[in-house]
Amino acid sequence: MTDKIKYAIIGAGCMGQEHILNIEIIEDAEVVALCDTSEQSIKESLELLNNEVAIFEDYNELVRANIADAFIIATPNFTHIDVLKDVMKSEAHLLIEKPLCTTVKDCQEFEELSKKYPGVIWTAMEYRYMPPVQRMIQEIHNKTIGDLKMLSIREHRFPFLHKVDDWNRFTIKTGGTLVEKCCHFFDLMRLIAKSEPLKVYASGNQDVNHLDETYDGMTPDILDNAFVIVDFENGVRAFLDLCMFAENSEYQEELCAVGSIGKIETEVPSNQSGIANSDIRIGLRESDSSTKETIAVDIKILEAGHHHGSTYYEHTSFIKAIRNNTKPEVSLKDGLIAVAIGEAAEISINEDRVVQMSEFNLE
């Protein structure tokens, strides 16, 4: 395949537009079609594009038009399962925004249906591709800190933004905050630990955000803070500290891992902080000092989205998998287990108990 990779965006809202901005700065890729039910989203997306594209309101017509090599599915979470079943009538490569689906059951149904699908199917997990996070993972997997024992991830940020039709205000449409937002972090934990989750315990609530909002007479029901502990089969313990009423945090994510011989930590700057670089700090137990490495991201890449350059790097890897006919770096199984840990954490809070991952039939 020597031509540019032709992308069609299904769901041209906030995240769809971040994908457009990144594809626009990748030389061997182009957006050829947009599909959205909202005129406003189409209008905003067209403003980001330098070339003419085909416009669709119904993704079934986009599938029938057969004009794209790859579809990005960036519609609201609850629509993913239906969109996926329909776009599988094509043979296009699929980049599916996280969470893969809102429930383990839907993820498993899609996984089963996709077994013989000829295209690359990739769950979009942008946090894997943030340069400081990638560097930290490399050091952990190189055993710089010995055998990993403890991993903690803190996300302190602003509340959920307003989305088209405010679909992100209700658990039924998102899967719940710990699925919708935190599947990213559970995916990272599993990637870093190189192990499968055994059990999950969580404590959380909706204490501050969206309590004065109503939609068709209903108040939003999504958590705005939680602590989640995940125990892995290989003994690694991971911890998530989520707070969504912490605007103006300098760093949106802080990651810290401790192994048998040392500790490594890094931070991901929040968009509004204006900070472009991150530091990786490593302290070894038998040394008097620590080392620091600064990870810089190209400003052009930083400006193409809200995820510290990660969407750009995710696309370059996705394109490589398409061109080389290789397996996705983030598989459906990865997408499914990230949702399962999030679902387990939501159950843990709702039922006030430890949830064993064996309660889900994940084999």
Q: Toward ligand NAD, which CB reaches closer, 34 or 140?
A: 34
Least Å from the CB of residue 10 to ligand NAD: 6
Q: Is residue 307 a contact residue for ligand NAD (CB under 6 A)?
A: yes
Q: Which stretch binds ligand NAD (CB under 6 A): 34-42, 193-201, 244-252, 258-266?
A: 34-42
Report phi then psi at 279, rounded to 5. Answer: -110, 145
Residue nearer to ligand NAD on the CB measure, 78 or 239: 78
Nearer to ligand NAD, 38 or 152 (CB): 38
Contact code string over 155-174 relative to ligand NAD, x by CB under 6 A: --------xx----------
* Angle 303-309-311 from CA coordinates, rounded to 5°: 105
Q: Is 15 in the site for ligand NAD (CB under 6 A)?
A: yes
Per-residue interface string for the shown chain with ligand NAD, residues 81-100, x marking contact by CB under 6 A: ----------------xx--
The answer to whether 139 contacts ligand NAD (rule: CB under 6 A) is: no
Nearer to ligand NAD, 15 or 242 (CB): 15
For residue 53, what are the contacts with CB-CB under 8 A and spacing of at least 6? 31, 32, 33, 34, 46
Nearer to ligand NAD, 12 or 133 (CB): 12
Q: How far is the CB of 330 from ligand NAD (least distance, A)?
A: 11
Place of tokens 């969470």: 99
The answer to whether 74 contacts ligand NAD (rule: CB under 6 A) is yes
| Minimal CB distance residue for ligand NAD | 13
Q: What are phi and psi of 57, to 5 degrees?
A: -100, -30
**59 lies in the site for ligand NAD, by CB under 6 A:** yes
**185 part of the interface to ligand NAD, by CB under 6 A:** no
Region from 33-41, 63-71, 235-243, 278-286 binding ligand NAD, contact rule CB under 6 A? 33-41
Instruction: Please check whether residue 339 is in contact with residue 99, taking contact to mean a CB–CB distance below 8 angstroms.
Output: yes
Asked if residue 45 binds ligand NAD (CB under 6 A), the reply is no
The Cα 115–Cα 72 span in angstroms is 19
Q: How far apart are CA 344 and CA 7, in angstroms?
A: 34
- Check residue 38 for interaction with ligand NAD (CB under 6 A): yes
- 284 interacts with ligand NAD by CB under 6 A: no
Asked if 224 interacts with ligand NAD (CB under 6 A), we say no
- Scanning 12-20, 193-201, 240-248, 276-284 for contacts with ligand NAD by CB under 6 A, the matching segment is 12-20
Segment interacting with ligand NAD, rule: CB under 6 A, options 8-16, 128-136, 207-215, 354-362: 8-16
Q: Minimum CB separation from ligand NAD for residue 70, in Å? A: 16
d(CA 240, CA 152): 6
In whole angstroms, the minimum distance from the beta carbon of 163 to ligand NAD comes to 3
Q: Which CB sits closer to ligand NAD, 37 or 331? A: 37
Long-range contacts of the stretch 320-323 (C-beta < 8 A, 24+): 321/93, 321/120, 321/122, 322/1, 322/5, 322/69, 322/70, 322/93, 322/120, 323/1, 323/5
Query: Smallest distance, Å, CB 244 to ligand NAD?
Result: 14
Q: Does 176 bind ligand NAD (CB under 6 A)?
A: no
x-or-dash string of contact with ligand NAD, 340-359, rule CB under 6 A: --------------------
Please give the residue ranges that form the binding site for ligand NAD (CB under 6 A): 10-16, 35-38, 41, 59, 74-77, 79, 97-98, 124, 126, 163-164, 180, 307
